[in-house]
Chain A
Amino acid sequence: MTTKAQPAPSALALDLQDERLQDRTGLRGQYKAFLDRTRSGDLGVLPVIGGLILIWAVLQILNPIFLSPANLVNLTMESSAVGIIALGIVAVLLVAQIDLSVGSVSGLAAAVVAVTSVNMGWPVWLVILATIALGAVIGWLYGQIFNRFGVPSFVVTLAGLLGFLGLQLYTLGAKGSINLPFDSPLVYFAQLAFVPVWLSYVLAAAAAASLFTTDYFHARARQHAGLSAMSLQNIALRAGLLLAALGVTVWYLNQGRGVGWMFVLFIVLTLVLNYMLKRTQWGRFVYAVGGNPEAARRAGINVRAIYTSVFITCSTLAAVGGLLGAARLAAANQGSGTGDVNLNAIAAAVIGGTSLFGGRGSAFAAILGIIVIQSISSGLTLLNLDSSFRFMVTGVVLLLAVTLDSVARRSRTSHGKA
């Protein structure tokens, strides 16, 4: 390194001093960085957004009701239960494992909700607690079998798929169907509870404001430490874009019945999982185990505990999804959690951009993915096509998403990215 015409290194932030770094600051730099990422196969949410626009356009042309507020409100409500299950799948996929039994676990949870609240008359809080405990115990069981005997997760959970389906049928008894009373708070929450109009705008504004403050304090901390930081205009732009997007969405949904509390719960759970994955040590360990379990083990991480915690997370979210599904249907029957629930949850996680190879993906994949899946399902229902077509189309979309993941992974490898 010679001393010729170089800008004084001390004037630059600590992390921008290497002379090989190209300028990637400011809006123009961010645009360039985005192009770099996309070209190297780091597609992010791009394919999902593109796919979603395409699907919405086609379905809207085929049936003008599709993008109406009423149908979109319905779509958000239908997405919530399976979306919450998909959150758990995201966590499991991040450690490069799979849970095939989420459908059966959600069905079993639905059955338990119906039996405990209707037949046994338990109060609501106890029913919810029991459901969560049920999911946690099942996940713990998977973790123990996986860790102690080394049975591959897809076999453990395939056994679970059959076993818990059987347990669900047994729990429901001879009649095979139990209706929840319409005055149950659970049913009210899942069918009729909508955010008041004023509050929905307040929440949207609060979300944008919290993004702004988080970004702002993060940038200030980085500046104090002598690192490069996002400019204030950049932070304001991000928050402004979020505010606009949320504002328009909320306004449009408010033309129909509004924003359901159940959908808000789904978003809150997504944000919580995102925080856990991105901002806590546990999340860092999850990504490390998914990327290289041996390296994680040598770094002193209790890899088995991470696997167990992830299985518990997945099964618990599946049970919560089953509870909400039963509440939405106001019943638990032999069909709860069967059929396409399993496939939809897994497909949502993968379509949203979670890699099947582990270590890549985010909680937001569940939201994006489930909206794609539910759009297809809802659009085909509006076209009076039965479930045979729905299965075929969903199957093709899932295959496309996984193919894209594999191709992008190959491109990332050749561009020196994991």
Chain B
Amino acid sequence: MSTSSSAPAGTPQLLTLRGINKSFGAVAALMDIELDIAQGEVVAIVGDNGAGKSTLVKVLSGVHAPDSGTITFEGQDVSISSPAAAQHLGIATVFQDLALCDNLTVVDNLFLGRELSPLRLNEVDMEVRSWELLKQLSAKIPSVRTQIASLSGGQRQTVAIARSLLGDPKIVILDEPTAALGVAQTAEVLNLVERLRERGHGVIMISHNMADVQAVADRVVVLRLGRNNGDFRVGDVSTEELIAAITGASDNVVSRRSAARSTSEETHAS
């Protein structure tokens, strides 16, 4: 299993995790997790339900503090004690549950926590910048002065991703970014991820969708039952190998099924 050696040669490591542990009561959610992200690298984290993906994201974004382990950001040991601390470091997170305020408008949500001129809010500049940002993402939002409550799931996802980009973060964490999106919007998000890579951001993407992962990621880190279970470069790995790592064995219901299908196809072909 390769770790830091898999990063592209010459690019500095942005974020390094070593020996991260986190348990909730008797349940160990993360055990001895290692993770590296370099500048301009898209790392996909995959794993079954309960593998610890979301917990890892929460550790990185300051929602949960790890029980033990070290986090190194740009070569310095750091502790991410709060969401504000994560933002300050330059780690922006788009959560699966999006964390938007239903009673506020799109503009209010985009700029929540970093409003322009705090003592006399500059609504005009915030609205103009919101439109520019949403245009860059080709977002289909009819009005930025509507409340979040009246938007569809895909529109909310777009707002949440747009918000994470406002602070010009070094690392963007996307938790299931394409789960609620239509075909065109999924493609837009994947394009967006590639644009982030070009600009030198590190991207951590959590996904269940192997097609999305293989389309956009540089590396795939597999978690299983709270442990590292593989770290692959996307070019070197097949979907079957990934699924084997995710489920923990090559002999399981998924691989047996695909094996049975491929043998039947071969017999049909011959």
Contact = CB atoms under 8 A, between A and B. Distances in A.
Interface of A: 14-15, 18, 20-21, 218, 221-222, 225-227, 279-282, 284, 287-288, 290-292, 294-302, 359-360, 412-413, 415-418
Given A20-B142, A291-B101, A298-B99, A227 B127 contact: yes
B108 A284 contact: yes
A225 B127 contact: yes
Contacts of A221: 124
Contacts of B10: none
A291 B105 CA distance: 11
Interface residues of B, number: 38
Contacts of B148: 418
Nearest to B127: A227
Contacts of B210: none
Nearest to B142: A18
A54 to B, nearest CB: 29
Contacts of A225: 124-125, 127-128
Nearest to B118: A281
Contacts of B95: 298
A288 B150 contact: no
B120 interface: yes
B95 to A, nearest CB: 7
A3 to B, nearest CB: 17
Nearest to A289: B101
Contact of A284 (B121, B142, B145, B150): B121
B143 interface: yes
B147 interface: yes
Contacts of B100: 292, 295
18 contacts: A14-B131, A15-B131, A15-B145, A18-B141, A218-B124, A222-B124, A226-B128, A279-B120, A280-B119, A281-B115, A281-B121, A284-B108, A290-B103, A295-B101, A301-B112, A302-B84, A416-B150, A418-B101
A292 B121 contact: no
Contacts of A291: 101-104
Contact of B63 (A298, A302, A359, A416): A298
Contact of A227 (B113, B128, B142): B128
Given A15-B127, A15-B144, A227-B124, A418 B99 contact: no
Nearest to A276: B119
A73 B112 CA distance: 43
A14 B128 CA distance: 8
A105 B83 CA distance: 36
B147 A417 contact: yes
A409 B87 CA distance: 34
Contacts of B121: 279-281, 284
Given A20-B142, A292-B102, A418-B102, A300 B113 contact: yes
B93 interface: yes
Interface residues of B, dominant DSSP = loop
B247 interface: no
The 8 A-B pairs of least Cβ separation, nearest first, read A281-B118, A291-B103, A418-B103, A418-B102, A299-B113, A416-B150, A359-B103, A291-B101
Contacts of B63: 298
Interface string B56-76: 000001010000000000000
Contacts, number: 105
Contacts of B140: 18
A334 B110 CA distance: 51
B179 interface: no
A209 B112 CA distance: 32
Interface in B142-165: 142-145, 147-150
Given A15-B144, A15-B145, A279-B120, A295 B103 contact: no
Interface string B128-141: 10010000000011
Contacts of A359: 101, 103
Nearest to B116: A281
Given A21-B143, A227-B128, 11 more contacts: A14-B128, A14-B131, A225-B125, A226-B128, A282-B118, A284-B112, A284-B115, A287-B101, A292-B103, A294-B99, A295-B101
A249 B180 CA distance: 54
Nearest to A222: B124
B101 A296 contact: yes
Contacts of B128: 14, 225-227
B102 A300 contact: no
A385 to B, nearest CB: 40
Contact of A300 (B87, B103, B124): B87
Contacts of A227: 124, 127-128
A243 B103 CA distance: 32
A121 B66 CA distance: 58
Contacts of A284: 104, 108, 112, 115, 121
A280 B102 contact: no
Given A299-B83, A300-B84, A418 B147 contact: yes
A248 to B, nearest CB: 32
Given A221-B124, A288-B112, A21 B118 contact: no
Contacts of A300: 82-84, 87, 113-114
A355 to B, nearest CB: 9
Given A21-B142, A295-B101, A417 B149 contact: yes
A392 B27 CA distance: 55
Contacts of B87: 300
Nearest to A292: B101
A299 to B, nearest CB: 4
Contact of A298 (B61, B115, B125, B147): B61
A418 B142 contact: no
Nearest to B144: A15
A226 to B, nearest CB: 7
Contacts of A297: 83
Nearest to A302: B84
A294 B98 CA distance: 10
Given A280-B119, A300-B87, A300-B113, A295 B99 contact: yes
Nearest to A42: B147
A360 B142 CA distance: 23
Contact of A417 (B99, B143, B150): B150
